[in-house]
Chains A and B, each alone.
Chain A
């Protein structure tokens, strides 16, 4: 069978790191070829090379058997290669048609009508169900993604690259996207799917190239390879999807939330009369659809947001009026929801980031003077213990790390303080299975040491995997708290929609 794309023996080095080491990728016409790898394995670099954003240090690229030089994205477009980026590149107040013909206007006077006609035809051909005349800001994220797909089809792309396309979609939209991808290959297009989600690969891809730490590990036939096999190839060791969790005796209460009311930015009550207790030796998961007051609840507990009424008790002491620092010192660790906004100072070194809560204390400083050697050593220990990988070690800027490594760095920083309570908000968002497994293991270890974990997650799998008890939140209210072993996903799902557990269990 003929290869539409061949990338042979590609090598790309960045200062201190070999992002691609002798990687070969061959995509056949009419297939969905997945590229699987952990965050930072080199998938994005490889695709950026194919798209002309980086130039390989070594290796050649062939399109339809002919060797080509791709120096910029325009070259790639001319060769029929199109990319759906993770972040859409659309003008919000333009219509679908206008966005698609943007940069492709053939005459000075726009011929919107015939363009719209062509778009409509394409949309029908591939089952995209797009109205060419709707304005981007009025349509859903899933629809916007389809506009991106249409943009490539309009430019006669033969090879479509999807970069983590499902990260922003709801489960239903994901299902529809899968169908669209199948339609595309049926019509003769070829697709490269970059992802770290195994079930998606299983669902649509025919073959899969697996990359680990910049090296090609192998090409597998998806139909005959199990998810566990692919996962272990990706991570380099067997991966368990279930978290091993023994019984631990539940101890005294660490955090007691009592009748808490919190306002959100718009001055509405985001948390209403919320009471919950988290004790030593347990993981309490807060389940709920995004935007039901979870963020405000966490901000209230950590001191980032003022509360209207209610009390917070920590280890038996009233901490309602503690400052943020007093809460940190009392023993609250916080893995924040947005690691880029809250978790790290991107343009500072890993070293400085690792002491951002402790820099003012001995041994990291004395009489207001920093002791850089002690700080660096501390950071080295965290990176070692929590497997944080970066190009230039502790001196790398936090922003240069991959998402997974950033998250591991934050988890490490919070864990080494051995806080009595860790509040973990979406701790594994956007991470690959290897990193997820790792972080889950650490959270369970924390609980096994007789400390407490408050987990907030929008992924039911994660909640069920980790939690001893599940507290369900809906529009700011606590619907109910249930023991994980005595409930199931359907029941919790109903409660997330606001149905009380007694009714739900009927």
Chain B
């Protein structure tokens, strides 16, 4: 059964992507542009040089971690809409470490990872606790936490981390203290690529392992699928809600780290990172499966990083790329239609095969 469901989710995702691209093409035609040209430059913008590939990956890293965060909470039946706030706080913690903690690289990297994870986890655990203890809906609580993070940053950055010229962003982190790495930068010939790529890949593997192979994952999924049965079986439902939100927050915190100390090297005030919401799309398209999240993040990363080039080379506005993303989400959300469609195709194929074998058998018996 499980293999069938998986392949189905894959087909659904592919169908949604293709239909999304077609819809985007139609839109380009509607505004009088050539869709083939548009897509050519969109993908070329993300892939034409090593540097651009590196930038695509750098964008995907953050999306991947946010997607994992949303997917993880979702497995426990929780909707983490607060990844943006968790990113900000995780990013702030990482930025503070980058400014004030000086250690050998091998120790420094784990420290900054831990700091970002812990800060994001704190931002996630508060809504988790409110949900567990007072049954406050996590969607409401996480949205509120987003704004608390937003305004805290708004105050904190100008007050304590003010840049030399601009009031609206923190001062830049030294390259050596960021997640950028010489050999990676050299390999890709510059750009935003950073060590976050390893953080994201390891996170995908660890989350997959935790969900599939550990007792913790077993509990989290049981609570997510049927909390009444979980309770009956002696699983502490509330504890798992808190743990789930804590880990989800931590993952989003890591996303903030890769974004603010890897992709960029400062934090702007007055911006709630939109990637926190894009992560919901990543998780949705990836069917909340870590491997699915990995690929859908790469795909969305490609669209995000190519849209600027498309805009520069053609008269297609970058909003078209966002429209494609939105359309894909729309098609993913209506995935029931696709799974029905693919079920039918599968069935028809089987029937045809059955008929063929039946015919062959009949012929064989005729010969006898």
Contacts of B213 in A (CB 8 A): 369-370, 372
Per-position contact with B for A330-354: 1 when CB-CB < 8 Å, else 0? Answer: 0000101000011111111100100
Q: In the complex, A336 Cα to B229 Cα: how many Å? A: 10
Contacts of A328 in B (CB 8 A): 233-234
Min C-beta distance of A188 to chain B, whole Å: 39
Q: How large is the interface on A (under 10, 10 to 19, 20 to 34, 35 or more residues)?
A: 35 or more
B214 touches A368 (CB 8 A): yes
A323 at the interface (CB under 8 A from B): yes
B231 touches A324 (CB 8 A): yes
A342 and B225 in contact, given A356-B233, A392-B1 (Cβ under 8 angstroms): no
B231 touches A304 (CB 8 A): yes
Min C-beta distance of B247 to chain A, whole Å: 14
B225 touches A346 (CB 8 A): yes
Per-position contact with B for A348-373: 1 when CB-CB < 8 Å, else 0? Answer: 11001000110110000100111010
A324 and B234 in contact, given A356-B222, A370-B218 (Cβ under 8 angstroms): yes
Min C-beta distance of B356 to chain A, whole Å: 14
Min C-beta distance of A149 to chain B, whole Å: 32
Contacts of A359 in B (CB 8 A): 215, 218-219
Contacts of B2 in A (CB 8 A): 349, 395
Per-position contact with A for B206-239: 1 when CB-CB < 8 Å, else 0? Answer: 0000000111111101100110111111111000
Contacts of B234 in A (CB 8 A): 323-325, 327-328, 357
Per-position contact with A for B232-250: 1 when CB-CB < 8 Å, else 0? Answer: 1111100000000000000
Min C-beta distance of B117 to chain A, whole Å: 19
Contact of A348 among B215, B221, B228, B232 (CB under 8 A): B221
Contacts of B228 in A (CB 8 A): 341-342
Which B residues, 9 to 25, have Cβ-Cβ distances below 8 Å to chain A?
Answer: none
A345 touches B229 (CB 8 A): yes
A396 at the interface (CB under 8 A from B): yes
A357 touches B214 (CB 8 A): no
Contacts of A352 in B (CB 8 A): 218, 222
Q: In the complex, A200 Cα to B75 Cα: how many Å? A: 45
Give the B interface residue count (CB, 8 A). 25
Min C-beta distance of B74 to chain A, whole Å: 13
Residue of B nearest to A346 (CB): B226
Contacts of B229 in A (CB 8 A): 341-345, 356
Contacts of A442 in B (CB 8 A): none
Residue of A nearest to B216 (CB): A368
B232 touches A345 (CB 8 A): no
A397 at the interface (CB under 8 A from B): yes
A440 at the interface (CB under 8 A from B): no
B4, B215, B235: residue with the most chain A Cβ atoms closer than 10 Å: B215
Min C-beta distance of B163 to chain A, whole Å: 45
Per-position contact with A for B111-155: 1 when CB-CB < 8 Å, else 0? Answer: 000000000000000000000000000000000000000000000
Q: In the complex, A280 Cα to B215 Cα: how many Å? A: 34
A336 and B232 in contact, given A349-B1, A395-B1 (Cβ under 8 angstroms): yes
B225 touches A348 (CB 8 A): yes
Contacts of B235 in A (CB 8 A): 325, 356
Which A residues, 400 to 428, have Cβ-Cβ distances below 8 Å to chain B?
Answer: 400
Q: In the complex, A351 Cα to B104 Cα: how many Å? A: 48
Min C-beta distance of B223 to chain A, whole Å: 10
Q: In the complex, A346 Cα to B222 Cα: how many Å? A: 10
B217, B221, B225, B232: residue with the most chain A Cβ atoms closer than 10 Å: B232
Per-position contact with B for A453-496: 1 when CB-CB < 8 Å, else 0? Answer: 00000000000000000000000000000000000000000000
A345 touches B222 (CB 8 A): yes
Contact of B215 among A57, A347, A360, A400 (CB under 8 A): A360
Min C-beta distance of A442 to chain B, whole Å: 20
Q: In the complex, A37 Cα to B217 Cα: how many Å? A: 40
Q: In the complex, A328 Cα to B225 Cα: how many Å? A: 21
Per-position contact with B for A291-329: 1 when CB-CB < 8 Å, else 0? Answer: 000000000001010000000000000000001110110
Contacts of B222 in A (CB 8 A): 345, 348, 352, 356
Min C-beta distance of B284 to chain A, whole Å: 18
Residue of B nearest to A343 (CB): B229
Min C-beta distance of A379 to chain B, whole Å: 14
Q: In the complex, A368 Cα to B228 Cα: how many Å? A: 23
A365 touches B221 (CB 8 A): no
A345 and B225 in contact, given A304-B231, A352-B218, A357-B234 (Cβ under 8 angstroms): yes
Min C-beta distance of A403 to chain B, whole Å: 16
Residue of B nearest to A303 (CB): B234
Min C-beta distance of A414 to chain B, whole Å: 11
Min C-beta distance of A44 to chain B, whole Å: 19
Contacts of A344 in B (CB 8 A): 226, 229
Min C-beta distance of B4 to chain A, whole Å: 8
Residue of A nearest to B3 (CB): A395
Contacts of A365 in B (CB 8 A): 214-215
A370 and B215 in contact, given A348-B222, A397-B1, A400-B1 (Cβ under 8 angstroms): yes
Contacts of B231 in A (CB 8 A): 304, 324, 342
A334 touches B1 (CB 8 A): no
Q: In the complex, A337 Cα to B76 Cα: how many Å? A: 25
Q: In the complex, A369 Cα to B211 Cα: how many Å? A: 10
Residue of A nearest to B354 (CB): A57
A368 touches B225 (CB 8 A): no
Min C-beta distance of B31 to chain A, whole Å: 41
Contacts of A304 in B (CB 8 A): 231-232
Q: In the complex, A57 Cα to B347 Cα: how many Å? A: 11
Min C-beta distance of A373 to chain B, whole Å: 12
Contacts of B214 in A (CB 8 A): 365, 368-370
Contacts of A334 in B (CB 8 A): 232
Q: In the complex, A345 Cα to B221 Cα: how many Å? A: 10
Contacts of A370 in B (CB 8 A): 213-215, 217-218
Residue of B nearest to A348 (CB): B225
Contacts of A369 in B (CB 8 A): 213-215
Min C-beta distance of B233 to chain A, whole Å: 4
Min C-beta distance of B6 to chain A, whole Å: 13
A324 and B225 in contact, given A365-B215, A370-B215 (Cβ under 8 angstroms): no
Per-position contact with A for B241-284: 1 when CB-CB < 8 Å, else 0? Answer: 00000000000000000000000000000000000000000000
Residue of B nearest to A334 (CB): B232
Residue of B nearest to A327 (CB): B234
B214, B222, B229, B354: residue with the most chain A Cβ atoms closer than 10 Å: B229
Min C-beta distance of A393 to chain B, whole Å: 10
A-B contact pairs, 12 of them (CB 8 A): A325-B236, A341-B226, A344-B229, A345-B226, A345-B230, A348-B225, A356-B230, A356-B235, A357-B233, A370-B213, A395-B1, A400-B1
Chain A residues in contact with chain B, CB under 8 A? 15, 57, 302, 304, 323-325, 327-328, 334, 336, 341-349, 352, 356-357, 359-360, 365, 368-370, 372, 392, 395-397, 400
The 7 closest A-B pairs by CB, nearest first: A325-B234, A356-B233, A324-B234, A342-B232, A345-B226, A345-B225, A357-B233
Given A345-B229, A346-B225, A369-B213, 20 more pairs with CB closer than 8 A: A57-B351, A304-B231, A304-B232, A323-B234, A324-B231, A325-B234, A325-B235, A325-B236, A328-B233, A342-B231, A343-B229, A344-B226, A345-B222, A345-B226, A348-B222, A357-B234, A368-B215, A370-B218, A395-B2, A397-B1
